[in-house]
Structure 1
Amino acid sequence: MKITGYRTLTAQHHWKRSIGDANGHIPEAVTEVPIVILETDIGLEGVGIGSHADLERLFPALEGEDPRGAAALFDRMLAQVFKSGHAGATYGGLATFDAAVWDLKAKAAGEPLWRLLGGRDRFVPGYASGLDIALDDDELVGFYAEFAERGFVAGKLKGGIDFDADLRRLGILADALRGNTTRPGLMLDANESWQVKQAVRYVTALEEHVDLLWVEEPLRRWDATGHARLSNGIRAAVATGENLTGVDQFRPLFDAGAPDVVQAGAIWGVSHLHRLALAAAARDLPISPVGYNANPAVAHVMTAVPNHLTTEVQDVRFADGLLVDHEFADGGIVLSDEPGAGIRIDEALITEQRDGGGWADPAGPHMRPMRAGLRVVLDGVER
């Protein structure tokens, strides 16, 4: 079996709600979901989800290769962009190809990806995450109630700019999940909107009222020393890493003792997540992928590593034309038993259903505010 080509599609996820964080939000959000389909000389196809960045530059590393050498092909793609570097957007395209290669490998073996990777159980513990900073209190109740009905016991709130609102909303989140547990797991995600002392003051004040499991991305992603200082100053764990591209970028954080929970963005693919999980395990650190809906294949990896904590689930629905054979029950994700990653594509539906805007709306969460981290008073109003 040889890889002969690829094609791309862009599906759209209609969230049917506003999504965003401390950096902004998109009302009635519609976001783009890049899809890559790898083709082979025997007609078998592999699906990867995540990014279309630099695919043309990366593909020569895969063309004519046997996809069953998935781990080696990941390194071959890294070597292909050695001079220009793999960080940033390029890593997204590389990892999406990687996910498609692993899907092919599992299909060729006639096994679900979780089994091929060495997993014993197809259940993956998860937590609910509404990307919810723009939801009003009633909408917040409705979102987390749906996850509570599916057995979820933990949830993550977007916040970090309005203390009183965060405290109230954390109470709403806890109440929504309390039907399944007497001690809901509560997390707060500040999306890099604080400086170190802002974070210490904010989280310490919250901890007078709330038992936080972790605070996520409190500081800029590269601030290894700051994250370590913060971890020493609060009770909650510090979780970070989702925007780092490549295990090598975690080295300064590991050396500083910065992360208490190691995170990885789902868009960065199967091989990256597997290697990062083992690097974290060697340091007795748990791992928690974010953005499962952006690449459901990563959940398979979590069945085969010793240190998976919980995986972020942002919706129980996927993009139009993206058919994912996973279920949400018992507080987590139940993976498919079909060969591959359990992802199928309805190309006609994807083409027909395109409408609306995209994730890169200037008012949305991918545009960092100019005054982020410089607000004197964190009450939601710029002074």
Structure 2
Amino acid sequence: MKITGCRTLTAQHHWKRAIGDVNGHIVEAVTEVPIVIVETDAGIEGVGIGSHADLARLFPAIEGEDPRSVSALFDRMLAQVFKSGHAGATYGGVASFDAAIWDLKAKAAGEPLWRLLGGRDRFVPGYASGLDIALDDDEVASFYEEYADRGFVAGKLKGGLDFDADLRRLRIMDEVLRANTSRPGLMLDANESWQVKQAVRYVSALEEHLDLLWVEEPLRRWDAVGHARLSSAVRAAVATGENLTGVEQFRPLFDAGAPDVVQAGAIWGVSHMHRLALAAAARDLPVSIVGYNANPAVAHVMPAVPNHLTTEVQAIDFADGVLVDHEFADGGIVLSDEPGSGIRIDEAVIDGARNGDGWADPAGPHMRPIRAGLRVVLDGVER
């Protein structure tokens, strides 16, 4: 079997709510969902989701190759862009091809991807994540109630700007999730908006009232020493890593003892997640996927590694025309038992369902505010 070609599609995910974080938000959110389909001479196609970055430069590394050599092909793609570097957006293109090739390999083997990777059980523990900084209190409660009804016992709030609001909303989430446990797992995601001492003060003040499982991305993604200082100063675990592209970028954090929970963005793909999980396991650290909905195939890695903690679930539906054979029950994700990653694409639906501007709003959470980390008073007011 040989890879003969590829094609791309772009679907849209209509979130039916505002989404965002401390850096900004978009109302009635619509986001683009880039899809890559890898074709073979055997008539089998593999589906990858995540990014269209640099696909034309990367494809020569896999064209004519046997997709069953997926780990070697991952390294061939990295080598293909050696001079310019694979970091950042390019790694997203690598990951989309990688997910599609893993899908091909599993389909050719007649196995679900989680079993091909060595998993024994197709259940993946998860937590609810509303991307919820723009939701009012009632909307926060409603969002987490839907997940509590599905057995979820943990949730993550977007915050970091307004202490009083974060405390109030964490309490709302805590109360809702107590339907399933007396001690819900509560997390706060600050999306790189603090300096070290801001983070220590903020988290310490929250811990006077609540037990936090972790604080996520409290500092800039590269600040290994700062994350280690923060971890030693608060009870909560420090979780970070979702924006690092390549296992090698974690080396300074590992060397500094910085992450308590090692995170990988789902958008960075299956091979990245698998390699990072094993690197973290060698250091007795748990791993967690961020943004499962951006690339659901990555969840198949979790049953096959020894140190998965929990996976972020941001929605229980997907983009129009993206059909994912996963269920949400018992506090997590039940992966497909069909060959491949459980993702099918309805191209006709995608073509007919485009409606909205996507991620184009300049006030959206992809833009970092000029004064991020430089606020004297954390009361939610810019001044």
TM-score by length of 1: 1.00
Aligned to 2:111: 111
1:247/1:275 contact within 8 Å kept: yes
- C-alpha distance in structure 2 between counterparts of 1:319 and 1:147, whole Å: 19
Q: Please report how far the alpha carbon of residue 382 of structure 1 lies from its aligned counterpart in structure 2 after TM superposition.
A: 1.7
Distance 1:174 1:13 in 2: 28
Structure 2 CA distance for aligned equivalents of residues 359 and 171 of structure 1: 30
Unaligned runs of 5+ in 2: none
Residue 305 of structure 1 corresponds to 305
Measured in 2, the distance between the counterparts of 1:368 and 1:114 equals 36
CA-CA distance at 1:361 after TM superposition: 1.7
**CA distance in structure 1 between the partners assigned to 2:3 and 2:34 by the alignment:** 20
1:359 Cα deviation from its structure 2 partner: 2.0
SS at structure 1 position matched to 2:125: strand
Residue 46 of structure 1, CA deviation:
0.1
**CA contact under 8 A between 1:360 and 1:366: conserved in structure 2?**
no
Shift of 1:358: 1.5
Equivalent pair of 1:155/1:187 in contact (CA under 8 Å): yes
Query: Partner of 1:193: helix, strand, or coil?
Result: coil
- Could you say what the CA RMSD is over the residues aligned between the two structures, in angstroms? 0.5
- How many pairs are equivalent? 383
- CA deviation map 1:149-194 (0-9, x unaligned): 0000000000000000000000000011001000000000000000
2: CA distance, partners of 1:5 / 1:320:
24
The SS at the match of 1:303 is: helix
The one-letter amino acid paired with 2:269 is G
SS at match of 1:310: strand
Alignment correspondent of 1:22 = 22
Q: Does 1:160 align with 2:155?
A: no
Secondary structure of the 1:382 match is: coil
CA offsets, 1:61-87, max 9 Å, x none?
000000000001000101111111000
Q: Which residue of 2 aligns with 1:341?
A: 341
Q: CA deviation at 1:8?
A: 0.2
Give the AA of the match of 1:205: A
Q: Distance between the aligned counterparts of 2:361 and 2:31, measured in 1?
A: 9
Q: Tell me the distance in 2 between the aligned counterparts of 1:125 and 1:257.
A: 26
1:123 is aligned to 2:101: no
The Cα shift of 1:355 comes to 1.2
- Residue 360 (structure 1) shift: 3.9
Q: Within 1, Cα distance between the matches of 2:93 and 2:173? A: 35
List per-residue Cα deviations over 1:95-144 (Å, max 9, x = no partner): 11000000000000000000000000000000000000000011111100
> How far did residue 42 of structure 1 move?
1.2
CA distance in 2, matches of 1:364, 1:211: 30
Q: Which runs of 4+ in 1 moved over 3 A?
A: none
Q: Which whole-Å deviations, capped at 9, do the CAs of 1:262-303 have from their partners, x for residues lacking one?
A: 000000000000000000000000000000000000110001
* TM-score with structure 2 setting the length: 1.00
Q: How does 1:248-259 map to 2 (within 5 A)?
A: 248-259=248-259
Question: What is the CA–CA distance in structure 1 between the aligned matches of 2:382 and 2:112, rounded to whole Å?
Answer: 50
Match of 1:369 in 2: 369
Residues 266 and 294, structure 1, Cα contact 8 Å, conserved in 2: yes
1:25 counterpart SS class:
strand
Map of 2:75 onto structure 1: 75
Q: Secondary structure at 2:7's aligned position in 1?
A: strand
Give the distance between the partners of 1:319 and 1:54, measured in 2 at CA.
23
